[in-house]
Amino acid sequence: MEMNATAEPGKIVETIASSSGKSNDEVKQLIDQKKEKFSGLLTDSGAAFMIAKELGVSLNSEPTEAIKIDSLKDGMNNIDVIARLKQAYAPKSFDKNGRKGKLQSLILLDDTGEIRATLWNKDVDKFSEMGIQKGTALKLSNCAVTSYNNALQLNLNYNSSFVKDEAAELPEIEKNIVSITDLDSNMNDVNVKIEIKRVFPAKEFETERGKGKVLNFMIGEGVNEIRGTAWNEMCDEVEKYSEGDQVLIEGAYTKEGRDGIELHLGWSARIFADKN
């Protein structure tokens, strides 16, 4: 039996049970155990697909047409979406029930709307390795739709995947690259192509709101240089680069510092090698 893009978890359980000789309750128990093993990071369908694979049960479906964002509904599973990357936030580390991992939030859009998507663990690394920049068109496969605070979210689970899809017909996203000489105070969503001049050691701090980390670095464009400051998770990202590296920074903001304009990398910023 083939599972369609919006198959309910109950139907998947019935298929696994009828094909494996196990009862529905036994299959549900295996699914619950799998979800517990992954600290609740799997949806019911994601866990069910893993159990099906372990039991040798095929749930493969025929290729499905991508669903538009405004047609997504809470509870949909194994659906495909083609959208353009509007915003990628800095990866975050977490420790849940003794299991460590990381996640990254994205904002995706097509010609009907936009939605937040969440990447987990290995997909966070893959996203970084692929060098996916703002405006890149993506095809996301076998995703699940959930709701949080009355807003729909797209979740990539164990059996999900994503690839670049430059042939997709989607609204363009403007990404202006500015010169550091044109920066002024209190600018947001700043994109610059610069050279790393120097990276200073990161420092940890603690305030009433909790612990944090800050790292200062110098960036240059020709003979012009300014100070950059990375916060928390972005410190680890900046530390991947060395003096002389050419990088692209997206989603930064500016502040007036003691020595002039500074570029700050917070929760909405990204940095990666400039290969152009």
Q: Which of these, 166, 162, 116, lies nearest to 139 by C-alpha position?
A: 162
Q: If DSSP codes are grouped into helix, strand and coil, which group holds residue 25?
A: helix
Tokens for 111?
A: 């010609």
Instruction: Decide: pTM greater than 0.85.
Output: no
How do the domains of the chain map onto residue ranges?
Answer: 9-55, 69-164, 180-273
Rounded CA-CA distance 194/217 in Å is 12
Mean pLDDT of all residues in 107-114: 95
Token pair 């060098």 is found at: 131
The domains spanning 69-164 and 180-273 adopt the same CATH topology: yes
Element (H, E) at 199: strand 190-199
CATH topology of domain 69-164: OB fold (Dihydrolipoamide Acetyltransferase, E2P) (2.40.50)
Q: If DSSP codes are grouped into helix, strand and coil, which group holds residue 115?
A: strand
What is the share, in percent, of the chain residues with pLDDT greater than 90?
51
Contact 221, 180 (CB under 8 A): yes
The amino acid occupying position 255 is K
Rounded CA-CA distance 40/239 in Å is 31
Q: Is domain 180-273 classified as CATH 2.40.50.140? A: yes
Tokens for 56?
A: 């040798």
Contact 199, 240 (CB under 8 A): no
What does the pLDDT look like over 141-177, one tens digit per residue?
A: 888 899 988 899 999 887 788 999 988 889 888 888 9
Rounded CA-CA distance 32/271 in Å is 38
Phi, psi at 229, each rounded to 5°? -135, 125
Residue 1: pLDDT over 60: no
Q: What is the predicted pLDDT for the residue at 17?
A: 86
Residue 214: pLDDT over 70: yes
Q: What is the predicted pLDDT for the residue at 86?
A: 93
Token pair 């979740």 is found at: 155
Contact 153, 146 (CB under 8 A): yes
Rounded CA-CA distance 207/58 in Å is 53
Tokens for 6?
A: 């919006």
Q: What is the predicted pLDDT for the residue at 39?
A: 66
Element (H, E) at 247: strand 246-257
Mean pLDDT of all residues in 50-79: 78
Give, as one character, the DSSP assignment of residue 121: T
What does the pLDDT look like over 231-252, one tens digit per residue?
A: 999 999 999 999 999 999 999 9
